[in-house]
Amino acid sequence: MRIRKRLTAAALAVLLAVAAVPCAVMAEKKEEKLTKVTLNEVAHSIFYAPQYVALEKGYFREEGLDVELVTGFGADKVLTALISGEADIGFMGAEASVYAFQEGATDPAVNFAQLTQRAGNFLVAREEMPDFQWSDLKGKKVLGGRKGGIHISM
């Protein structure tokens, strides 16, 4: 009886191992079918949170896309990556492609959709200003949040 149980267990183990091979091969083939897409975003922003969630949860993979997210740190750099072929999609303001078009780009970037309705910028101060008015900025310097960002003297 013990020998019979051992033979049954061994046969079952072999059967499971043989069945697992096609499943592993199919999983590898599914991975091979993913389309690689490089997405270059101008900056990290809370307004892009749905995109970050979709990447983290694997929603793009489920749709056959292997999305690589790169941060360009400036619309000029995103557009450069797009033009040079380093990126397939660029998240940036339309102004970069307009500037390139005005400079005579032979293959201008095409803008589509609207990702956000507001800029993801915030004005902060070192000290509390309960009755803040925009005129309070007169004579002050406003620094952008990244290298190459806005620097305004008012």
Tokens of 151: 């620097």
The predicted pLDDT at position 130 comes to: 93
CA distance 154 to 144: 14
Domain residue extents for the chain = 1-32
How do residues 51-65 score in pLDDT, each as one tens digit? Answer: 999 999 999 999 999
Residue with token string 């956000």: 116
The predicted pLDDT at position 10 comes to: 45
How do residues 79-123 score in pLDDT, each as one tens digit? Answer: 999 989 999 999 888 888 888 888 888 887 888 767 666 666 678
Hey, what amino acid is at 63? E
The predicted pLDDT at position 46 comes to: 79
Hey, how many other C-beta atoms are within 10 angstroms of the C-beta on 49? 9
Closest by CA to 116, choosing from 83, 91, 95, 90, is: 91
Tokens of 111: 């803008």
How do residues 7-48 score in pLDDT, each as one tens digit? Answer: 444 444 444 455 555 555 555 555 568 999 999 998 888 778
Instruction: Give the three-class secondary structure for 55.
Output: helix
